[in-house]
Structure 1
Amino acid sequence: MARSDFGSVTGWVSSRAMTSGGRLRVTVEKNALSGAGGLISNTRIPDGTAYELGFDIQFHSQFDWSRGGKVGFGLGIGNGNTGCNLPTDGAGGTLRLMWYNNPSTNRVYFHPYIYHQGMPGPCGSNFGKSYPTSGSIEKGRTYKIHMYVKSNTGNNANGHVQLKIDGQAVIDQSIRWTTNDSRRFINNLSFHTFRGGKADEWKSGTDGYIYYDNLYVRQISK
């Protein structure tokens, strides 16, 4: 359906996705990281300078947190930098979501995972934000995710990034996504669900299941 609607969808692995109870269930496979054990799917969307999206997410009641991973839908700007490829040329950025099991605090939480012009590196920025601000996310609970991205112009920090979870603002601030105006347009809907990180501590010895529902994507301005 996505290919029919948008004409360009990459990275879908049918064996790791199924419909369960009216929801999409994605399997993140044991002993594997990144695309080797999950989904790294990208869909080309019409160029725009502002988009919003939303979706529901739930981790299975027996899900093994391991160290963490990327989850759900996100938005890409210009070259859509990911994978510790810092956008030093000012030609790309991304907003995605992670879950993270912090060994120093024994908390499991969501945080934004952002690539943007001027980021410190070595990989995506989280701006020190997390949800919840105390305690941990829960297996078996449905969380409502909302994202908003607005492009900036030139070298100005007049873009915007917003992530809300269950109506609570996790990050909501101005940002400089790019400095190359020819690459300032939001053009990609990502669906990245996998464990990692790169080290073995991010792996799990069991298959895990993550459920998605109620996706919407809206172009707000061209």
Structure 2
Amino acid sequence: MSCHSALLPVSSNSILIGFTTDQNRVPAHPRIVPVRIFEDPSLGVHKISHPNVLQHRTIAIDGRLAWEALYPQGSINPSGALKGGFGFYVAGPKAFADALDEYAREIVLGYEVLFESGFSWAKGGKLPGLYGGVGDKAYGCTGGRKAHRCQCFNLRFMWRANGEGELYTYLPQTDVNLERLRTVPGAHESSDYGFSLGRGAWGFNSGRWMSLGIRLRLNDVGFQNGEIEAFIDGRSVLLVDRLVLREDHSARIRGAHFQTFFGGHTPDWASPRDQKSWFASLSGAVVK
């Protein structure tokens, strides 16, 4: 039986522990804990990367409590002079975070996103996803970083021009991974930045809520049996198996990298006007 076809597209029986910020769209489950989205201590929000996150302001929209992202005209990436969007990490409630640290091999993360009507996509931008790795090195797997790339992983959704979708990934740059990733439909490789997967396999729409989900299964150390899967509105749009997501037994899935901004790094990626998006119904589950 599916627990939820869009936010947690897994069997109810497979859920070991989970949380949700929206009980209306995730059916009641004895091992899924309800959490209010703006109660940061209970949700494990940390490492807020720049100030345009309204984590203490309740935004009510369409019956949902949501985080609101502001993208001022000309804003670009977290290090730009004019900042837009937001960025932070979510460990989840303590019991969920403890499960990630102690035993979790596989998790699924889901949330809803609403782009304002007529959203101007420009060249593209980032959306929230998952991250992990060895200790604090898990936080360093974005932005073109080259150090410790085999000790971390980061998977974020991304929109491109005209709302074209992809999964934007930083994975250990092993020979077996590169060989595997190059075979994925819609793959675009960058030696300095992330590896785009599934580009064009779906599209983002403005003016309506969409459900996004990522499932990640860690590989056994020494084996090429990791998996990542992306879901849009409960439909699997990308599945990549035979991956190495860790080479060290201490590497862990750490939670959500909840980040959004326009970019890219050059001015032609910037938001063409003041605009907004909203994020709601954040949910996660450790599965067996």
TM-score by length of 1: 0.84
Count residues with an aligned counterpart: 211
More helix by share: 2
Q: Does 1:150 align with 2:197?
A: no
**Gap regions ≥5 residues in structure 2:** 1-37, 92-96, 179-188
**Gap regions ≥5 residues in structure 1:** 102-106
3-state SS of 2:197 partner: coil
Partner of 1:115: 170
TM-score by length of 2: 0.66
Q: Does 1:166 align with 2:166?
A: no
Structure 1: which amino acid aligns with 2:201?
A: Y
Q: Does 1:31 align with 2:74?
A: yes
Of 236, 248, 251 in structure 2, the residue corresponding to residue 180 of structure 1 is 248
Counterpart mapping for 1:35-184 below 5 A: 35=78, 36-44=83-91, 45-46=97-98, 47=101, 48-71=104-127, 73-78=128-133, 79-80=137-138, 81-86=141-146, 89-101=149-161, 107-118=162-173, 119=178, 121-132=191-202, 136-174=203-241, 175-183=243-251
Structure 1: distance between partners of 2:129 and 2:197 = 17
Partner of 1:3: 40
What does the per-residue CA deviation read over 1:73-103, in whole Å, with 9 as the maximum and x for residues that have no partner? Answer: 31111133111124665211011100001xx
3-state SS of 2:41 partner: helix
Give the fraction of aligned pairs with identical amino acids, expressed as a percent. Answer: 22
Q: Is the 8 A contact 1:129 1:170 kept in 2?
A: no
Q: Does 1:207 align with 2:274?
A: yes
Structure of greater Rg: 2
Structure 2: distance between partners of 1:86 and 1:170 = 29
More strand by share: 1
Structure 1: distance between partners of 2:269 and 2:192 = 18
Q: Displacement, 1:15?
A: 4.8
Q: Displacement, 1:63?
A: 1.9
